[in-house]
Chain A
Amino acid sequence: MSERVAPTRTAEFEARLQKRYAAERRFRAIGLGAILFSVAVLLFLLATMTFNGIGGFQRVEMDVPIDFTEAGIAADPTAMAQPDAINTLQAQGLAEVVSFFASKQLGDEAAAELGGDAYRDVAAAIIADPSILREQVTFSLPVSADLASGYSGEGSPQMQALAKKLYEEGKISKNFDVGFLSRSDATNPQQVGIWGALKGSILTMAVTLLLAFPIGVLAALYLEEYAPKNRWTDLIEVSINNLAAVPSIIFGLLGVAVFLWMFPSYRSAPLIGGMTLALMTMPVIVISGRNAIKAVPPSIRDGALAVGASPVQVVFHHVLPLALPGILTGTIIGMARALGETAPLLMIGMRAFVATPPDGFTSPATVLPVQIFLWSDEIDRGFVERTSAAIIVLLLFLLVMNGLAIYLRNKFEKKW
């Protein structure tokens, strides 16, 4: 009679055990590899973007001292308050004044390569503070696009040589361009700014949030808490799920067909853009909202009903506060997608060249991703760096928006 050997103490069992451990080690290694790969790709992306984009926040400038006492420019305070004040100044020969002083200080050769609309910077300074017309002021003005590419070692050999010469004479230099964050689109990459698109994005997102969030949350609450479960609500549920998967350009077509038909004069306005993006964001909020509401334990509803809360009190005192973190998560995802959306906005005309920041929800505007798309399409080499800079601004905006939403979500998060 041999002694009984327990099946878990045989050599075969131990071999199987080793194989199980090996499988676990393999799985962990693969998972770790996936994470490391993602992190590496992300770091590469951020590094190249930062490297390319830094130049976009700078521009090549020449210092031009202007003695306004000799210029004979008049700035009537009422005229300066008008939106076309810049034209009033130009009509008085401001552009000529600027190039005269540039020639005087830097020579004709350099003055010829002063940016064509450099006078706009001067005009903006006068509009902001007309009292400088009694003084002598030195401006850092952008050079022409050709000279700027020459400065970067690109473009024609003559320009490269001229840029080198002027640089050695200390007449031009590449400086941080504060104005990039306060100007709008322009034809000269030296003269462009991101503020117009940024403001357009902020206004558009505000419309999207104000429409999509309340409608989405109320729809989710109604469907989860009140709607009877029948064929109609099933149909609505399927439709909402499908809507979340519709390609965004279709929403653009819808925006053209419905919203622009309703408000034909608001073409390329943040109002229409926001409404179109709200259509796209709403299904995401409804779906995530319903899941969050479903996750609230029924025992909490029972507890509230049993002390005599009415159904609407149950919803607003108990269900909604507990579901809010989940709803906010869905809203972040939906809004982030809307912020990066280009195609539907192209359809409703937000691709127009808009040189002034929008002054309201109904004035023509563009948004950050569309601005990036437009600049990336430009032939002028100077736009390459500007495009990268705009991407950085878009990502920072996204980061701020998501950070705010995550802060709110954590604030409302409760355990049960």
Chain B
Amino acid sequence: MVTVVHENLEVTAAKMSARDVSVFYGEKKAIDEVSIDIPTEYVTAFIGPSGCGKSTFLRTLNRMNDTIPSARVEGEITLDGDDIYRSKMDVVQLRARVGMVFQKPNPFPKSIYENIAYGPKIHGLAEGKDELDAIVEKSLTRAGLWNEVKDRLQDSGTALSGGQQQRLCIARAIAVDPEVILMDEPCSALDPIATAKIEELIAELNGSYAIVIVTHSMQQAARVSQRTAFFHLGKMVEYGRTSDIFTTPLEQRTQDYITGRYG
């Protein structure tokens, strides 16, 4: 069965695009022939019940699945037209271009400053201390964290509250100036106020980066995204404008999920 793609979508240039991507864990097929284009103009949300493969698919987009020995990817994923799974692809460069924010905030047990400066430092993006300071300030400002932490940049990143830690992780991701940001349920460990701040942040970053967000919360998908893909049992069932997916889904399973019949 193929994905139902809504026909009223505007034509956009795809930043990343997947063609017939399947992911295997050993013998088990976790993702079954998914094809999707990810534009820079819109935030794309992946929704679906637990275990449907949406996180797995997200992690194939910057090859984080490489760390799992039994994982195998078939099909083609391109970033600006380049196949990211070709043998000569530099994974380090890919991950610098495609950043990621995880479900549980995972700041390094270093100072706030070091957390942000780490990426630019290892890639040599800043020349001298002043430039590095500027990157740290800019990244924290964009993540809406600067005013809260500017007086304690040398404190440990792990001493911040959960919501601040997650914004620190977003700042860490944008410090290396990526082209795509992948977010794997970034708010699932946060309270509603922290969640609201992250959602505002996503809205602000929209347009500068291609953003893909995996979420369990349909309200969140409705609030932050303009494109939604519904995953079920490893397949991408339906893809379209977020407003259309939530009001006039074409597939029965999508309908059942968004009305809370299962999930």
- What's the Cα separation between A153 and B130 when bound, in Å? 79
Decide: A301 and B67 in contact? CB cutoff 8 A.
yes
B101 surroundings in chain A (CB, below 8 A) = 306
B92 and A302 within 8 A (CB): no
Which chain A residue has the least Cβ–Cβ distance from B182? Answer: A306
The answer to whether A306 touches B69, judged by C-beta atoms less than 8 angstroms apart, is no
Whether A5 is near chain B, meaning CB under 8 Å from some CB there, is no
Q: Which of the segments A139-147, A189-197, A309-317 contacts the partner chain?
A: A309-317
Contacts of A322 in B (CB 8 A): 109
Q: Is B107 an interface residue (CB 8 A)?
A: yes
Query: What is the chain B residue whose CB lies nearest that of A296?
Result: B109
Contact in complex: B106, A307 (CB < 8 Å): no
Q: Chain B residues with Cβ under 8 A from A297's Cβ?
A: 106
Q: How long is the Cα–Cα vector from A322 to B109 in the complex, in angstroms? A: 9
Q: Restricting to A287-316, which residues have a CB under 8 Å from any CB of B?
A: 297, 299-310, 313
Contact B100 A308 (CB under 8 A): no
* Interchain CA distance A301-B68 in the complex, whole Å: 13
* A416 beta carbon closer than 8 Å to chain B: yes
Partner of B64, one of A300, A306, A317: A306
Residues of B within 8 A of A302 (CB): 64, 67, 100, 102, 106
B241 at the interface (CB under 8 A from A): no
Q: From DSSP, what is the main secondary structure of chain A's interface residues?
A: helix
Decide if A305 touches B67 in the complex (CB within 8 Å). yes
Interface size on A, residues (CB 8 A): 22
Q: Which residue of A lies closest to B157 (CB)?
A: A416
A231 close to B (CB within 8 Å): no
In the bound complex, how far is the Cα of B122 from the Cα of A317, in angstroms? 10
Q: Produce 1/0 per residue, B40-84, CB < 8 A to A.
A: 000000000000000000000010100101000000000000000
Whether a CB of chain A sits under 8 angstroms from the CB of B162 is: no
A4 CB–B CB distance under 8 Å: no
Answer yes or no: A318 CB below 8 A from chain B CBs: yes
Expressed in whole angstroms, the Cα–Cα distance for A113 and B115 within the complex equals: 75
A299, B96: Cβ atoms under 8 Å?
no
Chain B residues 83-133 with CB under 8 Å of chain A are 92-93, 95-96, 99-102, 104, 106-109, 118-119, 122-123
Chain B residues, Cβ within 8 Å of A416? 109, 158
Q: Are A308 and B109 in contact (CB under 8 A)?
A: no
Judge whether B118 and A317 touch: CB under 8 Å: yes
Whether A305 pairs with B95 at a CB distance below 8 angstroms is: yes
- Chain B residues positioned under 8 Å from A301 (CB to CB): 67
Q: How far is the CA of A304 from the CA of B122 in the complex (A)?
A: 10
Residues on the A chain within 8 Å of B176, using CB:
307-308
**A415 in contact (CB, < 8 A):** yes
* Interface, chain B (partner A; CB < 8 A): 62, 64, 67, 69, 92-93, 95-96, 99-102, 104, 106-109, 118-119, 122-123, 156, 158, 169, 172-173, 175-176
- In the complex, given contacts A297-B106, A415-B158, what are 11 additional A-B residue pairs having Cβ atoms less than 8 angstroms apart? A228-B69, A300-B106, A302-B64, A306-B95, A307-B175, A308-B92, A308-B95, A308-B96, A309-B122, A318-B108, A416-B158
- Give me the interface of A with B, judged by CB distance under 8 Å: 228-229, 297, 299-310, 313, 317-318, 322, 414-416
Query: Shortest 7 CB-CB distances between A and B: which pairs?
Result: A308-B96, A299-B106, A307-B119, A306-B100, A416-B109, A303-B106, A308-B95
